[in-house]
Amino acid sequence: MADPKTPLAVQMTGIVKEFARCRANDGAGLSVAKGEVHALVGENGAGKSTLMKILYGLYTPDGGDIRVGGAPVRFAGPEDAIAAGVGMVHQHFMLVPTLTVAENVVLAREPSSLGGLVFDKARAEAEVEALSKKFGLALDPKALVGDLSVGEQQRLEILKVLYRGAEILILDEPTAVLTPQETKAFFQILSGLRAQGKTVILITHKLQEVLAISHTVTVMRLGKTVGSVATAKTSEAELAQMMVGRPVLFQVERTLKDPAVIAKSPAVLELRGVTVRSSRGHDALKDVSFTVRAGEIFGVAGVEGNGQTELIELLTGLRTPGAGTMTLVGKEVDFAAASAADMFRRGVAHVPEDRHRRGLVLDYAVSENVVLGRHREPEFASTWTIDFSSVRAFAERMIKDYDIRPADPSAHAKALSGGNQQKVVVAREMSRGPKLLVASQPTRGVDVGAIELIHKKIIAARDAGAAVVLVSAELSEILSLSDTIGVLYRGAFSGILSVQRATEETIGVLMAGGKA
């Protein structure tokens, strides 16, 4: 709780925001003391982002009271919020890659001469350099944004907000795209901001980070504020219970397998010397070889954008390699004829990274989504008709097995929460009894309760004898599920090791391209 003696930077009370189908904020409140790092946590769909978008002026609340620095405010748009000293760094960066750092920072507020006719680039660069020194955000003002690393781009986004004079910074899931090392550097930046008297509100779902860097935590659930606690006085388990409303298992139970035993089971997937070109034209995978055996979970760790997407697309028939061979259950894949349909027939199931775009037809009902790809199987259809009653019966079974809510087969997929959407995808893919399960970011943006269930199902697939390739940006997920871990760095494995030998530190070093 904020100390009553220190002035409040932000005070939001009784915030209500209704959308056509749901009440995203239902009397939510937030009190942030000046100069603190305040974490805002909650499951997906709890209303954190809505609350922050209201504070940043992107949404107008239907009810409630907002005070910034003690004064009541009504923001008609982000411009008003910026004028009041509130800035926001979005999860997805909004930068112009062909402009320099300085040009991006000053965009829309360019220093100029000749009464606004000429852009004063030198002054922009000097101002940006001074600002980045002051806050310890090391960046070359003349560098092209397209050449920056993800961590540098994030620093640039923060710099942009500071340039606009923000006193209160809202950061939306800032560490989602960072390596463990970059995350450490980011924490440094946060303490630098605090030292300069800035107030930071951090939207996150990583409870360990919350404990490491925040002073106060506010937990939201179902649009309401559950409570605020001083970070020093709480624990991961307590926060998780506040978020979900019940105790949560963090580590799914599984039996560790001896690498020697795994080595004896038959190979399901073998890649040899595979090179894949990315959509942007460079080699996204370079001479990659690995084997995944029946009953083995092969975890692929690495910072996003190091070839994971291309690897997944290769395994699921959405992309063909430039060189190399791929063997599935003893048969070499003929890439000239390969397609998603072909891989599907060979027993490859796919939980895609982007479930909205690739995993689901959002405007289809749950029942229609749960048979997507299986809709021509004799159980569900003949050439001329789909047997909707058997589709519905199947959907009802899946809804029960996977605890999908609402338990209504005719609900549209887009009306479901992220976690329930993902359960639909996982239910469908598992129901096919796959030989190879390819799961990419299976629990991204998914609530804690659903994570538990999805992890159990992945382990169950392994124990049923499937080979699993698991790609995840969450190191803890990789470590708690995998039997073997491969770390991708710039399109190649910087290391492949058994989970018994892996620690967060060794993987972190490999993720940055080092040697284990």
Partner 1 sequence: MSGQWRKLGVQAGASVAAVAAAFAIGAVLMLLIGVNPGLVYARLFEGVVLNPYGVAQIFFKSTPLIFTGLAVALGFQAGLFNIGAEGQMLVGAFCAALAGFGLSMPAFLHVPVCLAAAFLGGMIWAAIPGALKIKTGAHEVITTIMMNFIAMALTSYFVVSRFHEPETVHTAAVAVTARLPRLEAFSSFFHGSPANATFFVALLACGVVSWLLWKMPLGYELRALGLSPAAAETAGIPVDRRALLAFAISGGLAGLAGTSFVLGYKHYFEDGFSAGAGFLGIAVALLGQNSPLGVVIAAFLFGGLSHGSLVINALVPKEIIEVLQALVIILVVVANQVSKRWAR
Does 362 bind partner 1 (CB under 8 A)? Our answer is yes
Sequence letter at residue 344: F
- Three-state DSSP at 420 gives helix
Q: How many CB atoms lie within 10 A of CB 142?
A: 13
Q: Which residues of 413-434 are buried (b: 16+ CB within 10 A; e: fewer)?
A: beebbbbbbbbbbbbbbbbeeb
The piece of 19-27, 115-123, 165-173, 459-467 that touches partner 1 (CB under 8 A) is 19-27
Q: Is 186 within 8 Å of 202 (Cβ atoms)?
A: no
What's the min distance (Å) between Cβ of 42 and partner 1?
A: 22
Beta-carbon contacts of residue 471 (< 8 Å; ≥ 6 apart)? 299, 300, 308, 311, 312, 353, 438, 439, 440, 441
**Pattern 275-314, partner 1, x by CB under 8 A:** ----------------------------------------
Does 378 bind partner 1 (CB under 8 A)? Our answer is no
Does 415 bind partner 1 (CB under 8 A)? Our answer is yes
**395, 400, 405, 408: CA torsion to nearest 10:** 40
What's the min distance (Å) between Cβ of 445 and partner 1?
A: 17
CA angle 54, 362, 203 (to 5 degrees): 30
Beta carbon nearer to partner 1, 411 or 512: 411
Length of the chain (residues) = 516
Q: Is 269 within 8 Å of 347 (Cβ atoms)?
A: no
Beta carbon nearer to partner 1, 119 or 364: 364
Does 363 bind partner 1 (CB under 8 A)? Our answer is yes
- Three-state DSSP at 479 gives helix
Angle between helices 418-431 and 388-402 (to 10 degrees): 110
- Three-state DSSP at 393 gives helix
Binder of partner 1 out of 107, 211, 381, 512 (CB under 8 A): 381
What's the min distance (Å) between Cβ of 322 and partner 1?
A: 21
Does 347 bind partner 1 (CB under 8 A)? Our answer is no
Does 383 bind partner 1 (CB under 8 A)? Our answer is yes
Beta-carbon contacts of residue 40 (< 8 Å; ≥ 6 apart)? 30, 48, 51, 52, 201, 202, 203, 204, 217, 218, 220
Binder of partner 1 out of 108, 197, 282, 385 (CB under 8 A): 385
Does 368 bind partner 1 (CB under 8 A)? Our answer is yes
Residues of this chain, 310-329, that bind partner 1 according to CB under 8 A: 316-318
Beta carbon nearer to partner 1, 133 or 345: 345
The beta strand positions in 73-162, using DSSP E, are 86-89, 112-113, 118-119
The piece of 100-108, 146-154, 170-178, 359-367 that touches partner 1 (CB under 8 A) is 359-367
The beta strand positions in 173-282, using DSSP E, are 199-204, 216-221, 224-230, 267-277
What's the min distance (Å) between Cβ of 8 and partner 1?
A: 34
Structure tokens at 70: 């003690």
SS3 content of the chain, % helix, strand, coil (to 5): 35, 25, 40
Beta carbon nearer to partner 1, 119 or 344: 344
Does 331 bind partner 1 (CB under 8 A)? Our answer is no
Residues of this chain, 21-50, that bind partner 1 according to CB under 8 A: 21
What's the min distance (Å) between Cβ of 305 and partner 1?
A: 19
The piece of 7-15, 103-111, 201-209, 371-379 that touches partner 1 (CB under 8 A) is 371-379
Give, for 247, the enclosing helix (H) or strand (E). none
Judged by CB under 8 A, the number of residues near partner 1 is: 39
The piece of 33-41, 157-165, 207-215, 338-346 that touches partner 1 (CB under 8 A) is 338-346
The piece of 88-96, 163-171, 341-349, 497-505 that touches partner 1 (CB under 8 A) is 341-349
The beta strand positions in 156-252, using DSSP E, are 168-172, 199-204, 216-221, 224-230
Q: What is the 3-state secondary structure (H, E, C) of 7-53?
A: CEEEEEEEEEEECCCCEEEEEEEEEEECCCEEEEEECCCCCHHHHHH
Does 412 bind partner 1 (CB under 8 A)? Our answer is yes
Binder of partner 1 out of 144, 252, 386, 512 (CB under 8 A): 386
Binder of partner 1 out of 357, 378, 389, 515 (CB under 8 A): 357
Beta carbon nearer to partner 1, 348 or 478: 348
Structure tokens at 223: 């649009």
What's the min distance (Å) between Cβ of 162 and partner 1?
A: 35
Binder of partner 1 out of 344, 397, 401, 512 (CB under 8 A): 344
Q: Which residues bind partner 1 (CB under 8 A)?
A: 19-21, 316-318, 339-345, 350, 352, 354, 357-365, 368, 372-373, 375-376, 381, 383-386, 410-412, 415
